[in-house]
Chain A
Amino acid sequence: GENVEQHPSTLSVQEGDSAVIKCTYSDSASNYFPWYKQELGKRPQLIIDIRSNVGEKKDQRIAVTLNKTAKHFSLHITETQPEDSAVYFCAAIKRPGNQFYFGTGTSLTVIP
């Protein structure tokens, strides 16, 4: 099956700086890559996603890049704010289908 690795496990940045979280996957058939944000005690929520036929997608301060050849994708958060502090999970899925393979998570702390 699919194996998703995520780095770093913890990340601290100053408010206003950028944060980058990286994931690699093993199954070249995976074709959909969402990112979830999980605040303490809350459910994971989708923040951005990317299909395998797209190299980059941006939504305001959040962007995701995908390198299919190298089988890795990254989350970029610019102009970080304290409310960005949370655990972020990447995932890989073979669409159509609903089995999500999650990374181990990155705990992001934005220092005011």
Chain B
Amino acid sequence: DAGVTQSPTHLIKTRGQQVTLRCSPKSGHDTVSWYQQALGQGPQFIFQYYEEEERQRGNFPDRFSGHQFPNYSSELNVNALLLGDSALYLCASSPRGAGWDTEAFFGQGTRLTVV
């Protein structure tokens, strides 16, 4: 089991462009959450998907959108990139019925640099 995989690992984009990041959850997990981790900061919750719908959303603008596919993989899209969007984007997966002691597994992240 490869765990949570994210692609690409690194990405450089120009301000104003659009970017798509991808995440494949751990086998057996159907819930995917996305986080933005700025340098020196803790991960900030962007949104969560299960059953192919956005279920919860953090304090991020509409420029951040996502999608979940029937195989539970997910995409994070960011439009009109700003310099401040430069960060490590982490994906975490967990089972839908997250009861007690259900661990969320993180991918290694995508390092996005906006220039």
Cβ-based interface call for B48 (8 A): yes
Number of residues from A at the complex interface, CB < 8 A = 25
Contact A105/B90 with A42-B108, A51-B100 known, Cβ cut-off 8 Å: no
Stretch at the interface among B13-21, B36-44, B73-81: B36-44
Q: Is the CB of B45 within 8 A of A101?
A: yes
B68-111 toward A: CB 8 Å interface, digit per residue (1/0)? 00000000000000000000001010100111111110111100
Cβ-based interface call for B31 (8 A): yes
Q: Is the CB of A100 within 8 A of B99?
A: no
Residue in chain B with minimal CB distance to A42: B108
Q: How many B residues are at the interface, by size bracket?
A: 20 to 34
Q: Is the CB of A97 within 8 A of B43?
A: no
Knowing that A43-B90, A98-B94, A100-B35 touch, tell me 11 more A-B residue pairs with CB under 8 angstroms: A42-B108, A44-B90, A44-B106, A51-B100, A51-B101, A96-B98, A96-B99, A99-B45, A101-B45, A104-B41, A104-B42
The interface of chain B, by Cβ under 8 A from chain A, is: 4, 31, 33, 35, 40-45, 48, 56, 58, 90, 92, 94, 97-104, 106-109
The interface of chain A, by Cβ under 8 A from chain B, is: 4, 6, 32, 34, 36, 41-46, 49, 51, 89, 95-105
